Structure 1
Amino acid sequence: MPDTSARAEIWAAGDYELGEGARWVDDRLVLTDILTGRLLEVTGTEPRTPRELLCLDVPLGAVAPIADRPGHWIAAAGTGIALLAPDGSAQWLARPEDGAATPMRMNDGVCDPLGRFWAGSMAYDGTTGAGSLYRTDPDGAVHRVLTGLTIVNGPAVSADGELLYVADSAAGTILRCTLNAAGKPLSVKEFAQVDGGSPDGMTLDTEGRLWVAVWGGSAVHRYDPDGTLSAVLPLPVPQPTSVCLRPGGGQLLVTTARYGLTGGPGASGSVLTVPVDAAAPAAAAYHLA
């Protein structure tokens, strides 16, 4: 299994219980602290001190910017999908996990290049098969796309919008879905089985390689388009949660969590940086019709 000698360092210190949803938006990193419902930003200049943008009274899994509406976001939050204003007020598009057999929450989410928002759900107690993957179209309609998953994580979509990668963290599996023009899966196949931890947040680089935070594995994995594990980046924390490649290249940013850890947090709960030879586009925006 290939390793890299690149050394991870703290890029923005923090003590986030469950930092997630790292996205590059308008020359800054945005991220969430899921269980506290906070959306934060970190600029790339010194001092890199996270600033709170808004705070919800429900868990906040991930956001994407809304095109032509600065300061507005689409969010995977609580039990559904909401549009967020700069003051934190929410317009709910749907709450599909309300009334589920077991208490549920939304988890990670991302927009594809066609302006659709993809987000997954999970049970608080990790009930097997309780999670689903949802797609929110520009008209605001929310569709359940995949069911029978457990902890749905890290959606990532190819630049042409034809391939969707999604992790079932509890199963240690990354799936690859071929999509039609309407965003409906034509096929769902196993892309990779992750050993030594659970696949969490992930992103695609400009060469079509998939970078995956491995919760419990103290590492980020890089997979080639054929599913080959081509690099392992060791990290000084046990629980990396999501990854973001700077559009200009050369830098991988990794959110981490101190959830369930005892003792001093160390680097856990901070945003880490690792030098890499890769880049990715800035976060795609939701195209609200």
Structure 2
Amino acid sequence: MPALAFCLAATVAAARLDASADRLYVARDHVGDGVFTAGIEGPASGPDGALYVVNFSREGTIGRIPAGDGAARAELFVELPEGRTGNGIRFDAQGRMYVADYTGHAVLRIDPRDRSVAVHAHDPRMHQPNDLAIAPDGTLYASDPRWSRGDGQLWRIDRDGRVHLLESGMGTTNGIEVSPDGRHLYVNESVQRRVWIYDIDADGEVSGKRLLLTFADHGLDGMRADEAGNLYIARFGAGTVAIVSPRGEVLREVALAGQRPTNVAFGGADGRSVFVTLQDRGAVETFRSAYRGREYGAMPAPVSPTAGAAPGTP
């Protein structure tokens, strides 16, 4: 009888854990404290379904968190060449990995098949490339802050690696993302706590810069968009991920265990899991969203978890 009671208790506990994992906008640990260094950043889901995160065992590495086995363990994927340190990561439609290299003042390209590392783009005017966004046509956009002076730049990088300085004299440019339809670019400034929106034309040029919103406190870091166009913004120091509508309305803030989130990425089997890197924990937290990441393509809008909410509202 005691053995039966133990089995029943274990079954109930497992069911509760599964239910917790499926709750929307409730964060839990994906990989625990200290697995990554304090430089943890740049999460991105690869074509193999694994999550890739920079600065695994030490600075200058990229870690891989395999998908599908439920273990949520991390392993070394690649060591970058001497003098290179990754930050933001993005994958293109062909599965190639692009890495913002802030110490080498460049954007790197990694072939996942043989893990070879090459310089994809470089310009001597680059400060510290921080994060990347990739448009549907494969064009890259890069934020480029200069922390020592509190300013930053914005770059466009063509598929062949040619670089174009789009804007200088900005604040500390950090999180960057393209809208699901590829027609708008979003850029945030960490110290100034502003989020800007630009129009993107057919040639990848940006124009029509306007302010989307300003936060009253704490810093801004990496951000990603869901399929409805909502932005998920890491609020460094606040311990939250803010979900912001395309109109600049803060729809909700997802509370985290850590206080210093650095970046976010969508992934999981259905594209609705949000992964958050935490500097103060060297860990990755995760929560479920009602919507898939914008990279996962258009799909019918799911039922909102908030009764009566408009489509696209978490």
TM-score (norm 1): 0.83
Return 168-177 or 4-13, whichever deviates more. 4-13
SS of the residue aligned with 2:191? helix
1:16 deviates by: 2.4
Question: What's the counterpart of residue 94 of structure 1?
Answer: 122
Question: What's the counterpart of residue 273 of structure 2?
Answer: 251
Question: What's the counterpart of residue 53 of structure 2?
Answer: 31
Return 233-242 or 275-284, whichever deviates more. 275-284
Question: What's the counterpart of residue 110 of structure 1?
Answer: 133
For the aligned residues, what is the CA RMSD? 2.3
Q: Which has the higher strand share?
A: 1
SS of the residue aligned with 1:146? strand
Opposite residue 65 of structure 2, the aligned amino acid is: V
Inter-partner Cα distance in structure 2 for 1:124 and 1:114? 31
Residue 279, structure 1, aligned to residue 296, structure 2: no
Question: What's the counterpart of residue 264 of structure 1?
Answer: none
SS of the residue aligned with 1:170? coil
Gaps (5+ residues) in structure 1? Answer: 99-103, 259-267, 285-289
Opposite residue 24 of structure 1, the aligned amino acid is: S
Instruction: Write the mapping of 1:101-180 to structure 2, written as runs, cut at 5 A.
Output: 104-125=127-148, 127-129=149-151, 131-180=152-201
Return 44-53 or 216-225, whichever deviates more. 44-53
Inter-partner Cα distance in structure 2 for 1:222 and 1:92? 32
Displacement over 6 Å in runs of 4+: none
Q: Indicate the percent of aligned positions where both proteins have the same amino acid.
A: 22
Cα distance 1:32–1:110, how it changes in 2: closer, same or farther (>3 A)? farther
CA contact (8 A) 2:108 2:117 kept: no
Inter-partner Cα distance in structure 2 for 1:150 and 1:79? 18
1:176 deviates by: 0.5
Q: Which has the higher helix share?
A: 2
Opposite residue 242 of structure 1, the aligned amino acid is: N
Inter-partner Cα distance in structure 2 for 1:242 and 1:39? 15
Question: What's the counterpart of residue 238 of structure 2?
Answer: 217
Question: What's the counterpart of residue 10 of structure 1?
Answer: 29
Q: Map Cα deviations across residues 16-52 of structure 1 (whole Å, 9 max, x no partner).
A: 2122112122212112239812222212323211122
1:138 deviates by: 1.4
Inter-partner Cα distance in structure 1 for 2:296 and 2:121? 21
1:82 deviates by: 2.7
Question: What's the counterpart of residue 263 of structure 1?
Answer: none
Inter-partner Cα distance in structure 2 for 1:120 and 1:283? 23
1:249 deviates by: 4.6
CA contact (8 A) 1:156 1:202 kept: yes
Question: What's the counterpart of residue 47 of structure 1?
Answer: 71
Inter-partner Cα distance in structure 2 for 1:124 and 1:6? 32
Return 157-166 or 84-93, whichever deviates more. 84-93
TM-score (norm 2): 0.77
SS of the residue aligned with 2:161? coil
1:199 deviates by: 1.6
Question: What's the counterpart of residue 84 of structure 1?
Answer: 110
Q: Map Cα deviations across residues 75-132 of structure 1 (whole Å, 9 max, x no partner).
A: 221212232344443235323336xxxxx3211112111101111112252x122x21
CA contact (8 A) 1:22 1:30 kept: yes
Number of residues of Structure 1 aligned to a counterpart in Structure 2: 263
CA contact (8 A) 1:30 1:40 kept: yes
Cα distance 1:190–1:89, how it changes in 2: closer, same or farther (>3 A)? same
1:6 deviates by: 4.3
SS of the residue aligned with 1:36? coil
